[in-house]
Chain A
Amino acid sequence: MTAATARETVGTDPMVPRLFRVVHTRRDTRDTHTLVLEPTDGVPLPFRPGQFTMLHSFGVGEVPISISGDPAHPEVLEHTIRNVGAVTASLVAAQPGTILGVRGPFGTGWEVGDGKGGDVVFVAGGIGLAPLRPAILEVIAQRSRYGRVVLLYGSRTPEDLLYADDLRAWARDGGVRVETTVDNGPPGWTGRVGFVTDLVPRAGFNPVTAFAHICGPEVMMRAVATALRDRGVSGTRLRLSMERNMKCGIGLCGHCQLRELFVCVDGPVFDHDRIGPLLSKWEL
Chain B
Amino acid sequence: MTDVRVFGSDGLDATIAVLRRRGYDVFGPTLRDDVVTYGPIESVADLPVGRGDEQSPARYRSRARGDGALFGYAAPVQSAKAQFLPSDELLWTSRPGDAASGPVIERQAAERRPVAFVGLRSCDLAAVLQQDRILTQRAHADVAYAGRRAGAFLIAVTCSDPADTCFCASLGTGPSPGEGADVSLTEIVGDGPHRFVATPGSPRGTELLDAVGAGPASDEDVAAAHRVERRAVTRMGRELRTDDLVGVLYASTESPHWDAVAERCLACTNCTLVCPTCFCTTITDAGDLTGGAAERRRVWASCFTKDYSYIHGGSVRTSTQARYRQWITHKLATWQVQFGSVGCVGCGRCITWCPAGIDLTAEVATLRAGDTALKSSRAAGPRPSPRED
Contact = CB atoms under 8 A, between A and B. Distances in A.
B337 interface: yes
B114 A59 contact: no
A226 to B, nearest CB: 17
A59 B92 CA distance: 12
Contacts of B101: 19, 40
Given A3-B151, A6-B112, A15-B143, A85 B312 contact: yes
B301 A253 contact: yes
Interface in B320-337: 321-322, 326, 329-330, 333-334, 337
B172 interface: no
Contacts of A8: 107, 109-110, 143-144, 147
B146 to A, nearest CB: 8
A241 to B, nearest CB: 13
Contacts of A91: none
B389 interface: no
A7 B111 contact: yes
Contacts of A255: 280, 282, 301, 308-309
A260 B207 CA distance: 42
A59 B22 CA distance: 40
Contact of B281 (A4, A61, A99, A254): A254
Nearest to A100: B102
A190 interface: no
Contacts of A247: 281-283, 301
Contact of B308 (A16, A40, A101, A245): A245
Given A244-B311, A262-B338, A284 B151 contact: no
Interface string A1-23: 11111111110111111010100
Given A3-B151, A281-B253, A254 B114 contact: no
Contact of A283 (B310, B318, B330): B318
B190 to A, nearest CB: 35
Interface stretch (B55-63, B132-140, B173-181): B132-140
Interface residues of A, number: 51
Given A252-B279, A283-B318, A16 B105 contact: yes
Interface stretch (B34-42, B219-227, B285-293): B285-293
B316 interface: yes
B241 interface: no
B287 A60 contact: yes
A257 B308 CA distance: 10
Given A5-B114, A7-B111, A62 B285 contact: yes
Contact of B313 (A14, A62, A84): A84
Contact of B23 (A2, A56, A245): A2
B45 interface: no
B322 A259 contact: no
Nearest to B280: A254
B334 A250 contact: no
Contacts of A9: 143
B346 to A, nearest CB: 21
B182 to A, nearest CB: 11
B353 to A, nearest CB: 20
B107 A5 contact: no
Interface in A250-273: 250-255, 257, 259-260, 262, 265
B254 A282 contact: yes
A243 interface: yes
A284 B337 CA distance: 16
A17 to B, nearest CB: 7
Contacts of B286: 59
Contacts of A14: 140-141, 143
A10 B107 contact: yes
B88 interface: no
Given A1-B207, A6-B148, A259-B334, A254 B23 contact: no
A17 B303 CA distance: 26
Nearest to B107: A10
B111 A6 contact: yes
Contacts of B22: 1-3
A58 interface: yes
B107 A16 contact: yes
B153 interface: yes
Nearest to B313: A84
Contacts of A85: 312
Contacts of B144: 8, 13, 15
A2 B19 CA distance: 9
Nearest to B309: A245
A149 B260 CA distance: 51
Contacts of A15: 91-92, 143-144, 296, 298
Nearest to A21: B102
Contact of A99 (B103, B283, B319): B103
Given A5-B151, A17-B105, A21-B102, A248 B287 contact: no
B204 interface: yes
A251 B139 contact: yes
Contacts of A60: 285, 287
Given A21-B102, A259-B334, A59 B287 contact: yes
B1 interface: no
Contacts of A244: 309, 311, 316
A265 to B, nearest CB: 6
Given A62-B285, A244-B311, A6 B102 contact: no
5 contacts: A1-B204, A6-B150, A13-B144, A255-B301, A281-B253
Nearest 10 A/B pairs, CB to CB: A59-B287, A254-B280, A99-B102, A283-B322, A250-B140, A59-B294, A84-B312, A260-B337, A260-B334, A13-B143
Given A3-B113, A10-B110, A247-B281, 6 more contacts: A6-B148, A6-B150, A7-B111, A252-B281, A254-B279, A281-B254
